């Protein structure tokens, strides 16, 4: 697995630490907060590429499921 592929699978803390350990160790090496900032901007691309009809169908199905399960008190 490449670093590029592995990065999204790591948590923010692990990603920062991996970057820091790469460049040496000891006091004075600060980690980058870039992965934390980037995380909020990533995602949603797959659903954005789907046709509107398909997204609407998924939304309808989700609404039906929520309605069916509302007596469980999950939402």
Summarize pLDDT for 3-43 with one digit per residue, the tens.
666 656 655 555 555 555 555 566 666 677 787 778 778 88
Side-chain-facing half-sphere of 67: CA atoms under 13 Å: 6
pTM passes above 0.75: no
- Looking at 7-44, list the stretches that DSSP marks H as alpha helix, in order from N- to C-terminal side: 12-22, 34-39
| 17 within some domain | yes
| 27 within some domain | no
| 41 within some domain | yes
Domain count, the chain: 1
Determine the structural domain holding residue 16 and report its residue range.
3-21+32-72
| 51 within some domain | yes
Band of the pLDDT at 51, cuts 50, 70, 90?
very high
């Amino acid at each position: 697995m490449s670093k590029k592929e592995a990065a999204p699978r790591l948590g923010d803390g692990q990603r920062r630490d991996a970057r820091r350990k790469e460049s040496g160790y000891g006091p004075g090496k600060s980690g980058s907060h870039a992965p934390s900032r980037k995380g909020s901007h990533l995602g949603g691309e797959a659903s954005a590429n789907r046709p509107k009809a398909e997204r609407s169908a998924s939304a309808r199905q989700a609404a039906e499921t929520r309605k069916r399960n509302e007596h469980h008190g999950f939402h």
